[in-house]
């Protein structure tokens, strides 16, 4: 059966730093997969490798059987990608940017216009469409990236911190969009630091630390792996990444510093 994502033994180094170390992940169609990890764990690098933006030192990546390294154009046709950074065309208006994206993707005009109208309305973005992107708040810029990622109705969404800066309404809408997307057979690869969101949304979770996949599975499987029955994802994350004691130590130090 065709996997939505198939990563086999990805390795990527920058000088002496091994950012991604023998990473293997498989995501089935219709699945929401959460990629979690501390800052600098290699999540964004892994996603960039998958988008064909970086070349791995070794290993292979495939999206719907298309090689991420040999055929990135076919990969990008099937993927909606929300990157972590918000480097947009600041002096264009959102409308101009949507036109640019729709033109590059060669989308059908009537269908795209209907689709964008609905998305803009749902995200309460109508009044910002003709504003220059530079003047938009972080949350509204994130909405621009989400609309662009969804514009071509992709089969796979790769979302790198998609909730950053979003207000309550937009966060709720994006969560629902993720669910609707998978109900229609789409897949999601989601990288986030919000444990509650990951716990509530993801079918399976992979925890990556120092470039290595240290745990993978459903919440129940992770609880079993960490030998912590009934633990929340946050607790599991800290246990599996061996940060639990460090966090307590940090809190104690801060408490002492703030009480002086």
Partner 1 sequence: MKFRERWRLAGVMANEVRFRGYLDSNPASRARVKEEPDKMIGSLKSASRINSFMATMIISVMAILSVVMTWDSDMPGSFELRLMVSFSLFMLFCFAVIIFFFILTTNGFFSSGCSDIPSLMPLTRNEVGNLVLLTFVRVFVTPFIAIITFYPIAASILLGPFVGLIGFLGCLITIIFGITALVAIPRWFHSNSLNSPDSKLSAVVRVIASFSVILGMVLVYGIINSLSVILRLIVDILPIMGSNFFIILSPIFPFSFGIIASVSLNSILIPIEAILVAGAASIGYTYLAIRFYRKTGDTLRATTLGVETKRTKREIREIELDIVSPIKAIVKRDLRLAARNIGTGIIFVLPILMLTSFSPFIMMSSIAVRGWLVVLMMGFASGFSGAYIIALMMIDTQGASILQGLPLRTYDNLKGKTAIFMIPFITSILCIEALLIIKGVSTVFLLLIPVIQIPFGIAISLLTGAFIFKTKGGGRSIAVNLTQNTGTSLITVIVSGLIGSIPLVAYSAVFLLSTNHILSLGMQLLISLLVIILATRLAPRMLKD
Name the residues that contact partner 1, by CB under 8 A.
Answer: 14-15, 17, 19, 48, 51-53, 55, 72-74, 76-77, 79-83, 85-93, 95-107, 109, 112-113, 116-117, 120, 126-127, 129-132, 134-135, 145, 148-149
Min dist CB 209 to partner 1, Å, is 17
Q: Token pair of 133, please?
A: 């992107």
Of 39 and 260, CB closest to partner 1: 39
Of 138 and 253, CB closest to partner 1: 138
Is the distance from CB of 11 to CB of 20 less than 8 angstroms?
A: yes
Of 46 and 238, CB closest to partner 1: 46
Of 161 and 216, CB closest to partner 1: 161
Min dist CB 120 to partner 1, Å, is 6
Min dist CB 232 to partner 1, Å, is 30
Min dist CB 83 to partner 1, Å, is 5
Q: Mention every residue, 6+ apart, whose C-beta is less than 8 A from residue 235.
A: 228, 244
Residue 140's alpha-carbon distances to 166, 247, 248, in angstroms, are 7, 33, 36
Min dist CB 49 to partner 1, Å, is 12
Min dist CB 119 to partner 1, Å, is 10
Tell me the pairing of strands 212-217 and 204-209.
antiparallel
**Ranges of H-type helices in the chain:** 43-50, 72-78, 94-104, 109-122, 138-150, 168-183, 195-201, 219-226, 233-240, 244-259
Tell me the pairing of strands 187-191 and 212-217.
unpaired
Q: Mention every residue, 6+ apart, whose C-beta is less than 8 A from residue 166.
A: 139, 142, 143, 174
Of 59 and 217, CB closest to partner 1: 59
Cα torsion angle, 71, 182, 145, 25, sign: negative
Of 32 and 159, CB closest to partner 1: 159
DSSP 20-50: EEEEEEEE-TT-EEEEE--TTSSHHHHHHHH
């Amino acid at each position: 059966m065709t996997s939505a994502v198939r990563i086999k033994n990805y390795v990527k180094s920058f000088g002496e730093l091994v950012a991604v170390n023998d990473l293997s992940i498989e995501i089935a169609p219709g699945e929401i997969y959460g990629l979690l990890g501390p800052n600098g764990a290699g999540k964004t690098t892994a996603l960039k490798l998958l988008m064909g933006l970086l070349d791995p030192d070794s290993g292979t990546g495939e999206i719907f059987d298309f090689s991420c390294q040999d055929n990135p154009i076919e990969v990008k046709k099937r993927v909606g990608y929300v990157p972590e950074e918000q480097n947009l065309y600041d002096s264009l208006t959102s409308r101009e940017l949507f036109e640019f994206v729709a033109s590059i993707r060669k989308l059908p005009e009537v269908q795209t216009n209907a689709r964008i109208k609905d998305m803009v309305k749902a995200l309460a973005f109508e009044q910002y469409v003709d504003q220059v992107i530079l003047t938009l708040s972080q949350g509204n810029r994130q909405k621009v990236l989400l609309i662009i990622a969804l514009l071509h109705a992709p089969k796979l969404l790769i979302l790198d911190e998609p909730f950053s800066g979003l207000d309550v309404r937009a966060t709720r809408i994006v969560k629902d969009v993720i669910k609707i997307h998978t109900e229609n057979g789409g897949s999601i690869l989601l990288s986030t630091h919000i444990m509650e969101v990951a716990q509530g949304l993801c079918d399976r979770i992979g925890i990556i630390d120092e470039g290595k996949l240290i745990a993978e599975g459903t919440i129940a499987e992770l609880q079993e792996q960490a030998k912590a029955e009934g633990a929340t994802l946050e607790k599991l994350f800290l246990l599996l990444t061996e940060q639990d004691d460090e966090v307590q130590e940090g809190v104690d130090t801060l408490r002492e510093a703030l009480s002086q």
